[in-house]
Amino acid sequence: MLTHVKNRIESIINNINQLPSIPEVASHVLNMVNNPDIDFKQVAAEISKDQALTTNLLKLCNSAYFSKGKEISSLDRAIVTLGIKEVKDAVLVIATRTVLDKVVMGYDLTKGMLWQHGVAVAMMAKKIAMLTGEKARADIAFTGGLIHDVGKTVLALFVQNVFKDIMNAVENQSLSFHSAEKEIMGFDHQEIGEKVLEKWKFPEILKDIVRFHHQPFESSETNRKMVSIVHIANSVCLMAGIGIGSDGLFHELSTEAIALTGLADVQLESLYSEIPELLNQTKDIV
C-alpha cells in the first residue's frame, strides 16, 4: 500500500468541501419521496425553490424517456402524470449531471463517458427491477445505477498516478480492479462513493448500492437484491463497452447476484442484446 496516497485520499474524504456537491433541493426531494407520508404539494414547493432545476426538470419530463408522449406544462402536472418517483428520478438526473458529465482521468473516460454509463446503467437497472418483481422499487434501481460510480470522479487523479501499480496487483495477485484500488490506495471507488452519498444525505439503500456494486453479497440482506440488480446492470453495460475505461472488465460477475434476482440466461442475454435500443433512449437524456 502507498501510504502517502492513502493519506491524501483520507484528507479529501475528511474535508467535506472537497467532495462533489449537488443542489440541496435534490437531496431534500429524494428524502421526501422516501417518506411514506409524503405530501406531493410539499415536494412541488421544494423543487420550485430552485428555479434553474425546475426549468431543466420540465424540459426533461417532456423528453421521450420520461414523458411517454404526454405533454407536461407544470411541476404539478409532472407529479400527477408521471408519478412522484419518476419526477424524483428526473430531479436526480439533472442534479448529478455536472458531477458525472466530465473527463475522468486515470480511468481513461473522456467527457461524457461516465455520464452515459450512469444513465445507461440507471435505465438497465430499472428494466431489471421491473422484470424481477421490484416494480415498486424500480426508481431506487434507477437512482442507484445513475450514481454508482460517483467515487471514480474523486479518485481519478490518484488512479492516474498509480495506475501501473493497480494493474500489476490485478495481474499478479489476480485481484478485481476495485480490490486492487484498495490494495494500492487504501480505498476503492465504492467506499469513496459512499462518502459522497453521506455528504449528500442519501438514504441507506443508495449508499449500499454504491458501496457494494462490485460485491453485492457483502451488502446488508435487506438491500442485497437492489444492489444485485445494479451489479448486473453495470456488468451488462460494461460488457457492451458502455463507459468501459482503463479498468476494463476486471470485475467480478456474481453468480449469486444473478440467482438472487432470478434472471435466466436467456433474459440476461436479451438485456445485453437490447443495449443499442437502450442507448437510443439515453440520447434523450445525455
Partner 1 sequence: MKALINVGVAQIGFANQPSVLRTILGSCVGICIYDRMKKMGGMAHVLLPNKIGDGKDEKYADTAIPILINHLLKDGCKKEFMSAKIAGGASMFKFKSNISLGEIGSRNVQVAREILQKHGIPLMEEDVGGSIGRVLDFFMEDGRMKVKAAGEEKLFYKV
Chain positions contacting Fe ion, by CB under 5 A: 149, 234
17-25, 52-60, 94-102, 235-243 -> range binding partner 1 (CB under 8 A): 235-243
CA 236-275-118 angle, 5° bins: 65
The CB density around residue 257, as the number of other CB atoms within 10 Å, is: 23
Q: Which three cell numbers stand for residue 151?
A: 467515487
- Rounded to a whole number of angstroms, the minimum distance from the CB of residue 279 to partner 1 is 6
- The C-alpha atoms of residue 78 and residue 167 are separated, in whole angstroms, by 47
- Rounded to a whole number of angstroms, the minimum distance from the CB of residue 27 to partner 1 is 33
Dihedral sign, Cα of residue 221, residue 223, residue 226, residue 232: negative
Residue 220 or 270 having the CB closest to partner 1: 270
Q: Does residue 16 belong to the site contacting partner 1 (CB under 8 A)?
A: no
Q: Which three cell numbers stand for residue 261?
A: 434476482
Q: Does residue 244 belong to the site contacting partner 1 (CB under 8 A)?
A: yes
- Rounded to a whole number of angstroms, the minimum distance from the CB of residue 51 to Fe ion is 32
- The C-alpha atoms of residue 31 and residue 186 are separated, in whole angstroms, by 31
62-70, 75-83, 131-139, 261-269 -> range binding partner 1 (CB under 8 A): 261-269
Q: Does residue 241 belong to the site contacting partner 1 (CB under 8 A)?
A: yes
Residue with cell 502517502: 4
Residue with cell 442475454: 269
Q: Does residue 268 belong to the site contacting partner 1 (CB under 8 A)?
A: yes
Q: Does residue 250 belong to the site contacting partner 1 (CB under 8 A)?
A: yes
268 binds, among partner 1, Fe ion, none (CB under 5 to 8 A by kind): partner 1
Q: Please report, for residues 151, 165, 166, 248, 280, the alpha-carbon distance to residue 172 in angstroms, rounded to integers and kept in the order given.
A: 25, 10, 10, 16, 39
273 binds, among Fe ion, partner 1, none (CB under 5 to 8 A by kind): partner 1
- The C-alpha atoms of residue 209 and residue 145 are separated, in whole angstroms, by 8
Q: Summarize as ranges the residues that interact with partner 1 (CB under 8 A).
A: 108, 163-164, 167, 170, 176-177, 235-236, 238-242, 244-253, 255, 258, 265, 268-269, 272-273, 275-276, 279
